[in-house]
Amino acid sequence: MTSLIHPNSSISKSVKLGKNVKIGPYCNLDGNITIGDNTELKSHISISGNTTIGKNNTFYPFSNIGCDPQDLKFSGEDSFLEIGNSNIFRENVTISKGTKDGGMLTCIKDNNLFMTGVHIAHDCKINNNNIFVNQVTLGGHVNILDNVVVGGLSAVIQFVTIGSYSMIGGMSGIDKNVLPFSLAIGNRAKLRGLNLVGIRRNNFNKDEIKKINSIHESFINNKINLSTNDKVETIFHEYKSILNEKLGHIQK
């Protein structure tokens, strides 16, 4: 099936569309843009720059995708945004492309939900199956691993990594790396225990939960410093065997 483009939308000649792409009214696509099959742009959406979008994504009105970074060091370099498959971008989501200090790339993988007003800054790396509730802000160079929930009105500062299966409570300020399986709440956020809701929701068994809890308590009791200066791969090493079974690859 050919793509459907509303006559009130503006599509530059450099845009490449897959099969059955639907573009509603008052959208503006201008740049080296590729959009995969079965992706839908509802209306009033701007996509720009070097932006690659996969299949089965949905964009709601007033989203700004591939925009210039809000970084005073940005000087117009030809950077990139890559988006995978089956993501949902609700109203007023903004996603910036990369910068030369962050590898020139902002990358979002698959099956993520970005609720109203979420901002993803330059050079962020977002893995799979994450939920960002209304008005979440990620500063530049933030890494979100898999199956993370970030509560509404929360902010994550630059260069922070949030581990898989963690949950960030609403209205939290995150200025340190967050361990996998953790529940972090507050301004500034502190670890409050395991993210039991998320762990059970993802079908971990009792023995796995006990092992996670034991590792987690060892970090807390030993007062491991989770500042952004620590090497995240070292902090997360104890979790790798559990994460490998669930995710099929090593988490760093």
Q: Could you tell me the CATH number of the domain that includes residue 147?
A: 2.160.10.10
Q: Of 44, 122, 141, 216, which is the active-site residue?
A: 122
Q: Of 110, 123, 146, 175, which is the active-site residue?
A: 123
> pTM for the complete prediction?
0.89
Cα separation, 207 vs 212, in Å, equals 9
Q: How many domains does the chain have?
A: 1
Tell me the residue range of the domain where 145 lies: 4-194
Residue 218 domain-assigned (yes or no)? no
Residue 226 domain-assigned (yes or no)? no
Residue 95 domain-assigned (yes or no)? yes
140 flagged as catalytic: yes
Q: What is the pLDDT of residues 48-69, one digit of tens each?
A: 999 999 999 999 999 999 999 9
- On whether the CB atoms of residues 183 and 217 are closer than 8 A, the answer is no
Q: Of 98, 117, 140, 152, which is the active-site residue?
A: 140
Residue 246 domain-assigned (yes or no)? no
Residue 89 domain-assigned (yes or no)? yes
54 flagged as catalytic: no
Residue 200 domain-assigned (yes or no)? no
152 flagged as catalytic: no
Residue 45 domain-assigned (yes or no)? yes
Q: What is the pLDDT of residues 20-58, one digit of tens each?
A: 999 999 999 999 999 999 999 999 999 999 999 999 999
